Amino acid sequence: MLEQYYVRPDTVDRVRSSWIGEAVEKYVAWLADRGYSSRTVCRRILILIRFGRFARDRGAAELGQLAGHVEAFVQEWIRERAGARTSVSRQKKIGECVRNPLQQMLRLIVPGYVGLGRSHKPENPFREHAPRFFEYLKEEKGLREASIEHYRHYLRQFASYLQRAKLEDLAHLGPVVLSGFVAEYSQRVGLPGLRNCCGVLRVFLRYLYRERVLAKDLSGVVEYPQFFRLSGIPRSITWDQVRQVLARVDRRTPIGKRDYAILLLLVTYGLRAREVAALTLDDLDWRNNRLLIPERKAGHSTAYPLSSVIGEAIVDYLKNGRPQTQDRHLFFRSVAPRIPIGHAAVSTRAGHYLCKAGIQIPRAGSHTLRHTCVQRLVDADFDLKTIGDYVGHRAPASTQIYSKVAIEALRQVALGDGEEVL
């Protein structure tokens, strides 16, 4: 494996002659499998070999003892490369760049090593009092994993508040504490987020009462905020603006080829970011010119006719942009590690091109293009049921929030006297 990165055999011999040479070579193979560039691999090898000498000089005699020398090596590295005027943030960045390969290698070769990675959020913040709550959501309420993850998010916020309030026993939970949490959380989120949080809290409180953790059902204490379903304005853009967004994509690069195909999928079919990120090669039925979306938010599947423009964009990405991998996912990260792109990245890339095109819109992201798709269908006089089926809604009422405003007609009124429209 090392021969792929070094031309001179004596360089390879020096790496292998290190007392941690075998571990380094194993780590190099791990990096290569994940698509790290040759430049990155060579730079990390130099760090690791020097770390091996540093640890040996400090008395390390076996691989299991390396972990105790990581931070001392990182601090020495920072002292050598950080001048007197180097900011604290820059020093921290230097430390992260050298600590990361050390910890990656140690996780690979030392069983049970964790290091100083990001702290993992608890799967169940109320494991002691409600250990089976998330099983209840899945098995009894039939919620999908994406919905259950929302419950985890809001309950972590609630658990954090209880920790600050120093309330450890849920049996002592009362209206004052619940009202205090809702009042505090309302300062950090909008009305839709607050309403979702209140809904999660009510379900959790009813469950605690059912399990006899609470002596009284407190779900009625948590009142939903006044929020009118159709009070917002859809975040759609015009079709001319869509063309401006697509024109900002540099389709000569692998990233541009991927992003161009993603943007076309979002605005043509009104897909959600999660649905785009979950696409696999098996969802492309080339023989019948169909695109399959097997698992939608409402629990059903959809098959679309595959547009020739989208098909050409996907083929271009598959041939000239997608990394060589056995993974069947369609879209991948452009940098190492080469793993499937996440839904957050899909939304971020859409927002990036909206901003790049100079389009000012609140919360620019993938849903902007989904709104645009729905608005275009509304302007074409399709009924709500047809539009809802097209974009994956379970009921026509879900489509109303997207289609309540005749955007194009109002634009004409604003630009002229409006008599022809009326």
Is residue 153 among the annotated active site residues?
Answer: no
Marked catalytic residue, from 297, 333, 343, 404? 297
User: With contact defined as beta carbons under 8 Å apart, do 250 and 258 qualify?
Assistant: no
Marked catalytic residue, from 44, 296, 349, 367? 367
Is residue 402 among the annotated active site residues?
Answer: yes
What are the distances in angstroms from CA 259 to CA 17, 188, 204, 266, 383?
Answer: 45, 32, 40, 10, 31
Is residue 195 among the annotated active site residues?
Answer: no
Marked catalytic residue, from 69, 152, 370, 376? 370
Nearest-5° Cα angle at 401, 399 to 404: 95
Marked catalytic residue, from 272, 296, 371, 376? 272
Residue 355: count other Cβ atoms within 10 Å of its Cβ. 14
Is residue 166 among the annotated active site residues?
Answer: no
Is residue 300 among the annotated active site residues?
Answer: no
What are the distances in angstroms from CA 68 to CA 47, 63, 302, 338, 401?
Answer: 17, 10, 54, 30, 57
Residue 353 to residue 359: CA distance in whole angstroms: 9
Is residue 297 among the annotated active site residues?
Answer: yes
With tokens 């603006």, the residue in question is 241
Q: What is the chain's Cα-based Rg?
A: 27
Tell me which residue of 267, 266, 278 sits closest to 240, measured CA to CA: 267
Active site residues: 272, 297, 367, 370, 393, 402
